[in-house]
Structure 1
Amino acid sequence: MVMKAITITSTGLELVDKDVPEPGDGEIRVRVLRSGVNPTDWKRRSATEPGAVPNMDGAGLVDAVGPGVLSHNVGDRVWVMLAAHTGPHGTAAEFTIVPAAHAFPLPEPFPYDVGASLGVPAVTAHRALTVAEFGPKRLSPGALDGRTVLVAGGAGAVGHAAIQLARWAGATVVTTVSSPDKAELATAAGAHHVVDYKHGDAAAEIRAIAPDGVDVIVEVAAAQNGALNQAVAANHATIAIYANNGGDTAAFDIRPHMMINARIQFLILYTVGEEALQAAAEDIGAALRDGALPVGSEHGLPLHHFPLAETAAAHDAVEQGAVGKVLITLG
Structure 2
Amino acid sequence: MRAVWYEKTGPAAEVLRLGDIETPQPGPGEVRVRLHASGVNPSDVKSRSGVRGPIAFPRVIPHSDGAGEIEAVGEGVSAARIGTRVWVWNAAYRRSFGTCAEFVCLPEGQAVPLPQGTSFEAGACLGIPGSTACHAVFADGDVTGQTVLVTGGAGAVGHYAIQLARWGGARVIATVSGPEKAAAAAAAGAHAVINYRDGDVAAAILAANAGRPVDRVVEVEFGGNLPVTSAVIGDGGVIAAYGSMADAEPKLPFYPLMFRHVTLRMLLVYLLSAKERAATVARLTAALEAGALQHAIAATFDLTESARAHAVVESGRLIGNSVITIG
TM-score (norm. length: structure 2): 0.92
Shift of 1:72: 5.3
Counterpart code for 2:246? G
Deviations 1:158-184 (Å, cap 9, x if unpaired)?
111111111111111111000010000
2:153 pairs with 1:158: no
Aligned to 2:76: 68
Q: 2:301 aligns with which of 306, 311, 327?
A: 306
Deviations 1:257-296 (Å, cap 9, x if unpaired)?
111011111110222222211210111011000011122x
Aligned to 1:192: 191
Rounded Cα–Cα distance in structure 2 between residues aligned with 1:216 and 1:67: 44
Aligned to 1:298: none
> 2:224 touches 2:244 (CA, 8 Å); kept in 1?
no
Aligned to 1:114: 122
Deviations 1:94-124 (Å, cap 9, x if unpaired)?
1111211111111223211211111111111
Rounded Cα–Cα distance in structure 2 between residues aligned with 1:270 and 1:177: 26
Change (3 A) 1:71 1:197: farther
Aligned to 1:125: 133
Shift of 1:60: 0.8
> 1:131 touches 1:265 (CA, 8 Å); kept in 2?
no
Rounded Cα–Cα distance in structure 1 between residues aligned with 2:159 and 2:23: 34
Rounded Cα–Cα distance in structure 2 between residues aligned with 1:71 and 1:169: 36
> 2:154 touches 2:320 (CA, 8 Å); kept in 1?
yes
Rounded Cα–Cα distance in structure 2 between residues aligned with 1:38 and 1:169: 26
Alignment of 1:186-265 (within 5 A): 186-210=185-209, 211-265=211-265
Aligned to 2:5: 7
Query: What is the CA RMSD across the aligned residues, in angstroms?
Result: 1.5
Aligned length in residues: 315
> 2:240 touches 2:265 (CA, 8 Å); kept in 1?
yes
Counterpart code for 1:29? R
Counterpart code for 2:3? A
Percent identity, aligned pairs only, is 43
Deviations 1:177-226 (Å, cap 9, x if unpaired)?
00010000001111111011101221111111223311111111112101
> 1:94 touches 1:330 (CA, 8 Å); kept in 2?
yes
Aligned to 2:326: 330
Shift of 1:86: 5.7
Counterpart code for 1:312? A
Aligned to 1:266: 266
Rounded Cα–Cα distance in structure 1 between residues aligned with 2:235 and 2:215: 8
Aligned to 2:44: 41
2:319 pairs with 1:320: no
SS of the aligned residue for 1:58 comes to strand
Q: 1:56 aligns with which of 54, 64, 82?
A: 64
> 2:302 touches 2:325 (CA, 8 Å); kept in 1?
yes
> 1:62 touches 1:75 (CA, 8 Å); kept in 2?
yes
Q: 1:100 aligns with which of 108, 125, 145?
A: 108
Shift of 1:78: 0.8
Change (3 A) 1:198 1:9: same
TM-score (norm. length: structure 1): 0.91
2:99 pairs with 1:82: no
Change (3 A) 1:71 1:185: farther
> 1:65 touches 1:72 (CA, 8 Å); kept in 2?
no
> 1:34 touches 1:112 (CA, 8 Å); kept in 2?
yes
SS of the aligned residue for 1:53 comes to coil
In structure 1, stretches of 5+ residues that fail to align are 137-142, 296-300
Counterpart code for 1:9? E
